[in-house]
Structure 1
Amino acid sequence: MPQGLMLTDLAIAGALLLIAKVLRVNIPLLQRLYLPSAVLAGLLGLLFGPAILNVLPWTQTFSHNASLLTAALFSALGLATDLPSPKIVAQRAGSLWAFNQIASVSQWLFAALFGLGLTTWIWPTLNPAFGITLSSGFMGGHGSAAVVGNILDDLGWEDGFTLGLTFATVGIFLSISIGMLLLQLGVKMGWIHTFTAFSNMDSYQRKGLIKPDHQKAVMKDTMSSLSVDSFAIHAALVVLVTACSYLSSDYLSSFFDSVQIPTFVTGFLAGMLLRLIAKRTHANQYLCDNAFNHAAGISTDYLIIFGISAIKITVVAHYLLPMTVMAAGGVAFTLWLILWVAPRILGEGWFEKGLFSWGWLTGTVAMGIALLRIVDPEMKGTTLDDYAIAYVPGSITDIFIISLMPIAMYNGYHWEALGIGLAYILAVLCVWRFMLPRAACAH
Structure 2
Amino acid sequence: MSSETIGFALLLLGVLLLVAKLVRVKWRLAQRLFLPGSIIGGGIALLLGPDVFGRIAAAFGTDRFTEGGLFGTEIQQVWSTLPGLLISVVFAGLFLGRRMPKAREAGRMAGPQIAFGLTLSSGQYVFGLLLALAVLTPVFGLPPLTGALIEIGFEGGHGTAGGLGETFAEFGFAEGQDLALGMATIGLLMGIVLGIVLINWGVRRGHATELRADAAPSVAERMGLVERENRRSAATLTVHPSSIEPLTLHFGVLALAIIIGQLLLWGLQLLENALWVDTIEIFGYVPLFPLAMLGGILLQVVINRFDRAQIIDRLMIERIQGFALDMLIIAAMGTLSLDVIAHNIVPFLLLAAVGIVWSLGAFLLLAPRMLPDYWFERGIGDFGQSMGVTATGLILMRIADPELRTPAYPAFGYKQLVLEPFFGGGLVTAAAIPLIVQFGPVPLLVVMAVVFLVALLSGVLYFGRRGAPADTEAEAPR
Corresponding residue of 1:326: 351
Write the mapping of 1:22-421 to structure 2, written as runs, cut at 5 A: 22-53=22-53, 54-57=69-72, 58-123=75-140, 125-192=141-208, 195=211, 200-254=216-270, 255-256=272-273, 257=277, 258-259=281-282, 260-282=285-307, 285-398=310-423, 399-421=426-448
Give the Å deviation of 1:285: 1.2
What is the rounded CA distance, in whole Å, between the counterparts of 1:368 and 1:381 in structure 2? 15
Confirm whether residue 423 of structure 1 aligns to residue 440 of structure 2: no
What is the rounded CA distance, in whole Å, between the counterparts of 2:4 and 2:409 in structure 1? 35
Shift of the 387–193 alpha-carbon distance from structure 1 to 2, 3 Å rule, reads closer
What is the rounded CA distance, in whole Å, between the counterparts of 2:458 and 2:384 in structure 1? 25
Give the Å deviation of 1:317: 0.6
Letter in 2 for 1:162: D
Matched-pair identity in %: 27
What is the rounded CA distance, in whole Å, between the counterparts of 2:326 and 2:223 in structure 1? 17
Contact 1:275 1:284 in 2 (8 A): no
Give the Å deviation of 1:189: 2.9
What is the rounded CA distance, in whole Å, between the counterparts of 2:348 and 2:457 in structure 1? 35
What is the rounded CA distance, in whole Å, between the counterparts of 2:390 and 2:409 in structure 1? 10
Shift of the 299–196 alpha-carbon distance from structure 1 to 2, 3 Å rule, reads farther
What is the rounded CA distance, in whole Å, between the counterparts of 2:88 and 2:299 in structure 1? 16
What is the rounded CA distance, in whole Å, between the counterparts of 1:187 and 1:196 in structure 2? 7
Shift of the 253–330 alpha-carbon distance from structure 1 to 2, 3 Å rule, reads same
Give the Å deviation of 1:243: 4.0
Letter in 2 for 1:71: S
Give the Å deviation of 1:247: 4.8
Aligned length: 438
Shift of the 242–50 alpha-carbon distance from structure 1 to 2, 3 Å rule, reads farther
Contact 1:82 1:392 in 2 (8 A): no
Report which stretch shifted further, 143-152 or 196-205.
196-205
Provide TM-score, normalisation by structure 1: 0.91
Contact 2:381 2:412 in 1 (8 A): no
SS of 1:268's equivalent in the other structure is helix
CA RMSD of aligned residues (A): 2.6
Letter in 2 for 1:43: G
What is the rounded CA distance, in whole Å, between the counterparts of 1:113 and 1:421 in structure 2? 11
Letter in 1 for 2:443: E
Contact 1:105 1:425 in 2 (8 A): yes
Give the Å deviation of 1:409: 2.4
Give the Å deviation of 1:140: 1.4
Letter in 2 for 1:331: I
Shift of the 378–434 alpha-carbon distance from structure 1 to 2, 3 Å rule, reads closer
Give the Å deviation of 1:92: 1.8
SS of 2:420's equivalent in the other structure is helix
Report which stretch shifted further, 308-317 or 151-160.
151-160
Shift of the 47–197 alpha-carbon distance from structure 1 to 2, 3 Å rule, reads farther
Corresponding residue of 2:466: 438
Report which stretch shifted further, 242-251 or 30-39.
242-251
Shift of the 296–183 alpha-carbon distance from structure 1 to 2, 3 Å rule, reads same
SS of 1:323's equivalent in the other structure is helix
Shift of the 342–407 alpha-carbon distance from structure 1 to 2, 3 Å rule, reads same
What is the rounded CA distance, in whole Å, between the counterparts of 1:376 and 1:5 in structure 2? 46
SS of 1:218's equivalent in the other structure is coil
Corresponding residue of 2:472: none
Letter in 1 for 2:134: G
What is the rounded CA distance, in whole Å, between the counterparts of 2:394 and 2:443 in structure 1? 35
The answer for unaligned runs of 5 or more in structure 2 is: 54-68, 470-478
What is the rounded CA distance, in whole Å, between the counterparts of 1:345 and 1:190 in structure 2? 18
Shift of the 270–292 alpha-carbon distance from structure 1 to 2, 3 Å rule, reads same
Give the Å deviation of 1:350: 0.7
Contact 2:25 2:223 in 1 (8 A): yes
Give the Å deviation of 1:174: 0.4
The answer for unaligned runs of 5 or more in structure 1 is: none
